[in-house]
Amino acid sequence: MDINIVKLKKYAATCSVLYVEDDELIRSATASFLGRFFSDIVLAEDGLLGLATYNKRKFDVIITDINMPNMTGIEMIEAIKKTNYEQAILVTSAYNDSENLMKLLDLNVNRFVLKPFNNKQFLYVLYKIAEELTFSKEAALHQAQIQKMSKRSQEIVDQIDVGIIVFKDYKIDIANQAFLTLGGFNSFDTLELEMPEIGVLFEEATRCISVTKNEEFIKSLQNIGKEESKVRIIQKGKTIEYQVSLSALDEANSYVVTFTDITALHNAMYMDEHTKLPSRKFTLEKIDLLKQKTKSLTTIFMSIKHFEHIEKIYGKKAATALESAFSTNIKKIREQFMPETFIGHFNKNMFIIVPPISLNTVLFLKGLKEITLSSESLSLRKQSQEKELKLFINVQTKELDMSKELSEIEVEFIHIFEMM
């Protein structure tokens, strides 16, 4: 969880913050903390005042509590999302509340911090929000600059490190060097000859554009929100994710499209820091994608037995190391038996494994069940402990009904782990 303070201050300098919190002590202390980085901070005592303040002026970021008098944080968010669905919002709460969490996810809110705040975690989330907003503003600035350019100012456009293409009547008219590089083309002529329909470049992925024809690509960008205006491209065996933006030019049926690399931001949001596995959100995206391909899905659920007791006795650091070692063992079994298998870290001590559809999982499952961990190998032994502590795992296989809504499947995952 590395935070570049210099960059944070740079990003935060251009971001305005509305902080809504009814607890005066928390509001005052948090505002003081935020003031070290953000210069434009406005406070509100409840959701009603927060909404009134927001309606007077716009803010780059809203930080809000949930339970407040007069109007709750969720009610305020619902009202704000009606006018600005893309508004960046960070929700703070004193406890986990699955019902409110589902409501917030439905409102496209996916950033949460529990109170009392862990300053480093709180700062990291703010850093990622400010960074994303800065990237978005820079991309918008790039687009504004591009629209003022002459149609043939290729040399200037090539100096911009964001991928840019210009469409005329759904045919590629201009492509800058950054786009040629991301597509693996050595020249514009090669692009025209080998891939006149750029959608062939894009990998199929949830909440990403994966159409083939240029016309379909343009129309998709016109009809979907920013969250889904993304593409994924395989480059030298690695998946790179780009935020895509569309602007219409004055010339009839002409468009400029920009591609901004957001892979680092995506990985920070979608990959678990310790296990190096796809996070809960990424795992659910994978399931959502598979819903389109199959009616049922063999899914393996794994956890370490008595993990909570281990964490209580040996500490959080040791428990985290145990999870990391466990994930490494699962990855080894995957490489040995089924390299294409998906492994996700759904939550603490919750591992979800999705083998390739229609393949026999007997040997793979046998390998998973034979995974062994010990306190000695993981440095979990206490000096007073004479005997090595043997650790055991839970393994359960389930056929998922993929006709269910994704939210229902998510709840089912939680229930399965609770029963293990």
pLDDT in tens, 245-264: 999 998 889 999 999 988 87
Phi-psi region of 171 (alpha: psi -120 to 50; beta: other; left: phi over 0): beta
Q: Is residue 141 part of a domain?
A: no
Query: Taking 70 as the threshold, does the pLDDT of residue 268 lie above it?
Result: no
Q: For residue 75, what are the CA distances in angstroms to 47, 51, 57, 70, 334? A: 7, 9, 19, 10, 45
Query: Taking 70 as the threshold, does the pLDDT of residue 377 lie above it?
Result: no
Identify whether 116 is preceded by a cis peptide bond (ω within 30 of 0): yes
Predicted confidence at residue 388, as pLDDT, reads 52
The last residue of a domain, from among 266, 300, 331: 266
Q: Are strands 40-44 and 16-20 parallel, antiparallel or unpaired?
A: parallel
Q: Is residue 139 part of a domain?
A: no
Same domain, 85 and 182: no
Q: For residue 227, what are the CA distances in angstroms to 221, 261, 304, 311? A: 11, 14, 35, 37
Same domain, 178 and 234: yes
Q: What is the pLDDT of residues 108-123, one digit of tens each?
A: 887 888 888 787 888 8
Q: Is residue 296 part of a domain?
A: yes
Same domain, 379 and 318: yes
Domain span at residue 218 reads 149-266
What is the pLDDT averaged over residues 313-317?
86
Query: Taking 80 as the threshold, does the pLDDT of residue 381 lie above it?
Result: no
Cα dihedral sign for 131, 132, 133, 134? positive
User: What's the angle, vertex CA 106, arms to CA 294 and CA 220, rounded to 5?
Assistant: 65
Q: Which residue has the higher pLDDT, 154 or 397?
A: 397
Quickly state the pLDDT bin for 340 (edges 50, 70, 90). confident
The last residue of a domain, from among 99, 131, 163: 131
Most confident option among 110-124, 169-183, 355-369: 169-183
Same domain, 229 and 299: no
User: Cβ contacts of residue 169 below 8 Å, gap of 6+?
Assistant: 253, 254
Question: Among 401, 267, 207, 393, which Cα is nearest to 412's?
Answer: 401
Predicted confidence at residue 386, as pLDDT, reads 46
Q: Rounded CA gap, 174 and 87, in Å?
A: 33
Cα dihedral sign for 79, 85, 90, 91? positive
Q: Is residue 326 part of a domain?
A: yes
Query: Taking 80 as the threshold, does the pLDDT of residue 95 lie above it?
Result: no
Pair of tokens at residue 68: 């407040």
Same domain, 293 and 406: yes
What secondary structure does DSSP assign to 91-158, as a single string? EEESS--HHHHHHHHHTT---EEESSP-HHHHHHHHHHHHHHHHHHHHHHHHHHHHHTS-TT-HHHHT
Predicted confidence at residue 170, as pLDDT, reads 93
Quickly state the pLDDT bin for 94 (edges 50, 70, 90). confident
From 40-44, 175-179, 226-230, the region with the lowest mean pLDDT: 226-230
What is the pLDDT averaged over residues 87-93?
89
From 5-19, 55-69, 108-122, 316-330, the region with the lowest mean pLDDT: 108-122
Q: Is residue 77 part of a domain?
A: yes
Q: Is residue 144 part of a domain?
A: no
Question: Among 56, 67, 78, which Cα is nearest to 20's?
Answer: 67
Q: How many domains does the chain have?
A: 3
Same domain, 206 and 292: no
Q: Which residue has the higher pLDDT, 26 or 207?
A: 26
Query: Taking 80 as the threshold, does the pLDDT of residue 66 lie above it?
Result: yes
Same domain, 291 and 255: no
Answering whether pTM is above 0.85, one says: no
Q: What is the mean pLDDT of the chain?
A: 85
Same domain, 126 and 157: no
Same domain, 251 and 283: no
Q: Is residue 95 part of a domain?
A: yes
Contact (CB, 8 A) for 201 and 233: yes
Same domain, 332 and 231: no
User: Cβ contacts of residue 254 below 8 Å, gap of 6+?
Assistant: 166, 167, 168, 169, 173, 248
Q: Is residue 211 part of a domain?
A: yes
Same domain, 119 and 250: no
CATH of the domain at 208: 3.30.450.20
Query: Taking 90 as the threshold, does the pLDDT of residue 43 lie above it?
Result: yes
Predicted confidence at residue 153, as pLDDT, reads 58
Pair of tokens at residue 356: 């390739």
CATH of the domain at 370: 3.30.70.270
Helical pair 280-291 and 406-419, crossing angle rounded to 10 deg: 120
CATH of the domain at 121: 3.40.50.2300
Same domain, 17 and 43: yes
Q: Rounded CA gap, 189 and 187, in Å?
A: 5
